[in-house]
Chain A
Amino acid sequence: MKRSRFLNRRYLTDFAVNLLKFILLLGFAYIILYPFLFKILSSFMSNNDLYDATVELIPKEWNLERYKEVLFYTDFSDGLKNTLLYSLLVAFGATFAADFVGYGLAKFKFPFAKLTLALVVLSMMIPIATLSIPLYSTFRFFDIFGIIEAISGKALNLTGSPLPMALLSFTGLSFRSGIFIILLRQYYIGVPNELLEAAYVDGSGVINTFFKIILPMAKSMLVVVFSLSFAWEWTDTFYYPILNSNTNTLSNVVLTLNLETYTSNTQYIASVTQGTGAIMAILPLLLFYAVLQKQIIQGIERSGIVG
């Protein structure tokens, strides 16, 4: 965080340069925020406003028609509940897996360690287009090396239940889990071995050391992993349509919310309603980010130095 002093020496040119930088950053920030701004403001527009060419961003007649539509045509509160449960499940699973596997890879020598690391890297490099069909068939016809079929005569159908996501996340294979494992591995490699040895000397076992000394140290990284996996599961549009297409989750609800088919709405208005649904869906996530923003960003910056 310490910045060099000579940057402040030539005040005037510095001021001009900084002004330029500020304007550039403002432009980029605008590009990021514009879609949100557009969605939020258009969600308050009436049908007339949406077709009025003089209405640019600021609605003339503020109304809540779009919000009423979303709430009327979808079971939003149920979706919120399901999404929260799924996101918590996956976030816990991914954090658990990343923490354990990352620690194992960083601090222990064991057979196939290199192969394990290679598989972790491979697991995050599989394009989701390649993953989608095997993912579906794995859980549509779930079997453990033919054992289940031998017992019951039929493979299990796990799609529609939360079990596939639980299995994937707790084994470190959920969305971008490989990144989390590598992130924590890098972090734990940076933890000095002397610390562990000192703990062992004082009579602390491996498990005890891990939970009492290592975990509290890695808290900032765990917050990062937990929040990212939580957020990514919240807005997930890959796993839900394949594994839980009938579950009432927010992203399923919003993606299938096409009011053009069963109201008199035109395609354009239907898409605005969908945007409104999306804004409603990510609102809890925005609050979550507002609260944890500082910890997440600092955690990632710290990991950037280690990595």
Chain B
Amino acid sequence: MMKSYKSRLKLSSGRNNQLWGIFFVFPFWIGAALFLIGMLIMAGRFAFSEISFSGGMNLKFNEFKNFHYIFRVDPNAATMLLDELKSLLITLPIVLVFSLFVAVLLNSEIPGRTVFRAIFFLPVIVCTGLISSIDRASLVMNFMSDTASTDEGGIISAMGDITAFLQGLNFSPELISFVSDMANNIMEIVNLSGVQILFFLAGIQSISPQLYEAARVEGASSWEIFWKITLPSILPTMVVNVIYTLVEYLTRDDTALYEYVYTVSFKQGLFGYGSAAAFVYFLCVVLLMGIIFLGVRIATKTAERSRREEYR
């Protein structure tokens, strides 16, 4: 009896363990070998090539000509890249703050909490591709033509008043455009926050109530409790949400940059230019990701160290 017990345990360790591990991840290995790595190499190669489709796909190495085109010849590409990165950097913190805010709101005795949760999650299910592309198109259209009697959202028309109001108060034009951009993007931000709200909500609800009670007894205000207890406790959730928001943002297909790449390559047939623009964006994103991961690592390490010192 004892012997079989040991041999069984062995099955779950050592060489067999390795083989089973490989068995389970094998689908992904196939995908990585056949598609993922190949596509990444292609993305790099295409950016430096002139691509033509006659018979098969023909690549001709043309040094930095594609990059020269997108940065020096095409007036749209460079600004579009910059705008895209800028909006990524702005959207990320705003989505995080907004979803945390909504999660805090939802974490209280409010009638219809479950209904609200379902509504806030609705865009994740429904608004990912089709609806957001159509909305984008019709939004652009509404801006261009005044024939439409009803304006989508109603927010845009209200924004005009606010902009005028801020201008009257002599705020700097940068600030005004930032505020009005934010207000215009509220729909987008709400749509991007569905999953993050639920993650934050779960994080907040997993904090033990005794912690709050103790803080109350010590005389802490709600404001202090939020900064000293809630926020540090949901730091791991924050990291998850940063990553999720990034992924969500990068895989959206209703962005101006993607539209540019798609039009230039698939409609005009200039695959090299599209590839070069996409490749530059990819490099910027990788750089940004590296910075964020490094920041997260440093933050968690310092948090751990300070915790350890407190125990001492």
Q: Report A's interface with B, CB cutoff 8 A.
A: 1-8, 14, 17-18, 21-22, 24-25, 28-29, 31-35, 38, 42, 50-53, 55-57, 96-97, 100-101, 103-105, 107-111, 113, 116, 119-120, 122-138, 140-141, 144, 154-155, 167-168, 170-173, 175-176, 178-179, 181, 196-197, 200-201, 203, 205-206, 227-228, 231-232, 235-238, 241-242, 250-251, 254-255, 266-268, 271, 274-275, 278, 281-282, 285-286, 288-289, 293-294, 296-297, 300-302, 304-305, 307
Question: Does B87 count as interface, using CB distance less than 8 angstroms?
Answer: no
Contact A96 B27 (CB under 8 A): yes
Give 22 A-B contacts (CB < 8 Å), ordered by A residue: A3-B107, A29-B120, A51-B147, A100-B24, A104-B24, A108-B20, A109-B21, A127-B285, A128-B258, A129-B262, A130-B278, A132-B278, A133-B43, A133-B271, A172-B27, A231-B125, A235-B126, A235-B130, A289-B126, A294-B114, A301-B205, A304-B203
Inside 8 A of A203's CB, which chain B residues have their CB? 8
B300 to chain A, nearest CB (A): 14
Proximity bits, B1-44, A CB within 8 Å = 1, else 0? 00001001101100001111111111111111011111110110
**Complex-state Cα separation, A98 to B191, whole angstroms:** 25
Q: Is the CB of B213 within 8 A of A6?
A: yes
**Proximity string of chain B (207-224) to chain A, C-beta cutoff 8 Å, 1 when within and 0 when not:** 001001100100000000
Name the A residues within 8 Å of B31 (CB-CB). 97, 167-168, 171-173
Stretch of B89-97, B165-173, B242-250, B301-309 contacting A (4+ beta carbons < 8 Å): B242-250
Question: Across the interface, do B281 and A267 meet the contact criterion of CB distance under 8 Å?
Answer: no
Top 9 closest pairs, chain A to chain B, by CB: A171-B31, A104-B24, A108-B21, A110-B21, A304-B202, A304-B199, A104-B25, A134-B39, A134-B42
Point out the residues of chain B lying under 8 angstroms from A171, CB to CB: 27-28, 30-32, 34-35
Q: A21-B110, A171-B27, A178-B247 are in contact. Are A119 and B141 (CB under 8 A)?
A: no
CB neighbours (8 Å) of A122 from chain B are: 36, 40
**Contact across chains for B130 and A282 when beta carbons are under 8 A apart:** yes
Q: Which residues of A contact B137 (CB under 8 A)?
A: 271
Please give, as numbers and ranges, the residues of chain A lying within 8 Å of B8 by CB-CB distance.
Answer: 200-201, 203
Partner of B18, one of A24, A38, A108, A275: A108
A181 nearest in chain B by CB position: B28
Q: How far is the CB of B170 from chain A (nearest CB, A)?
A: 29
* CB–CB B153/A34 < 8 A: yes
Q: Does B118 contact A (CB under 8 A)?
A: yes
Q: Which residue in chain A gives the minimum CB-CB distance to B20?
A: A206
Q: Beyond A104-B23, A130-B282, is A271–B43 a contact (Cβ under 8 Å)?
A: no
A203 to B278, CA, bound (A): 53
| A1-B258 in contact (CB<8A) | no
Does B134 count as interface, using CB distance less than 8 angstroms? yes
Cβ contact within 8 Å between B278 and A55: no
Asked whether any CB of chain A lies closer than 8 Å to the CB of B148, the reply is: yes
**B262 near A130 (CB under 8 angstroms)?**
no
Query: Which of A133, A136, A297 is the one whose CB lies under 8 Å from B117?
Result: A297
Verify B25–A25 contact, CB threshold 8 A: no
**Complex contacts, A141 vs chain B, CB 8 Å:** 56-57
Residue of A nearest to B280 (CB): A130
B250 with A301: CB separation less than 8 A = no
